[in-house]
Amino acid sequence: MALFDLDFDRKGEYKIHVRKFFLFPEFWMEPKNKLPIPLKWKSVKFSNVNKSRIPSEKGIYAFVLIPSYNNFFKTRYLFYAGKTNRTLKKRFTEYLSEKDGKGKPRAKVFEMLNLYDGHLYFYYSEVKNTNDVDLCEEQLINTFVPHINFQIPIAKIKPELKYIYE
């Protein structure tokens, strides 16, 4: 039975919340998939009020969905991994604008930021060296293949399926 066979009596609105994740533990553990440097992750709830808490340093970041559900253990879903050679604060601010539809929002990012508003967390780690920033982002995307990222450096996407990832 597929999830689409279920009837939640919600007029099909649940369909936009179905996500597929690449979960491959052996792949995570391969030495070639380790991060090139140790990272010190911090996180804030993704909202305008937390903009001042984001540092003015370059680094890598991830959007993680953490469901708010009382009396249950913490559950997390990695949706997106990225980097910035500007500052994390600037990138955070750009995402706030993208959430509001300013500029040319990317469809999958816009949907993530709005569908899960109030449940998204911005995880970040400052990285001083530009080369390390690039390597860390590439390693995270290649290893975890986050759902919202559509460019996976080591993966080859069949041309006829490319629309799924864009």
- Give domain limits for the chain: 36-165
Q: Give me the sign of the Cα torsion angle 141, 143, 147, 150.
A: positive
**Which of 78-82, 117-121, 147-151 is the least confident region?**
147-151
The answer, as to whether pTM is greater than 0.75, is yes
In the prediction, which pLDDT does 156 show? Answer: 64
pLDDT at 165 over 70: no
* Matching CATH number, 36-165, of 3.40.50.2000, 3.40.630.10, 3.40.50.11720, 3.40.1440.10: 3.40.1440.10
Query: Cα Rg for the chain, rounded, in angstroms?
Result: 17
Beta-bridged to residue 45, according to DSSP, are: 121
Q: Which has more confidence, 29 or 150?
A: 29
Distance CA 23, CA 144 (A): 7
Q: What is the pLDDT of residue 1?
A: 43
Q: Is 120:65 a contact under the CB 8 Å cutoff?
A: yes
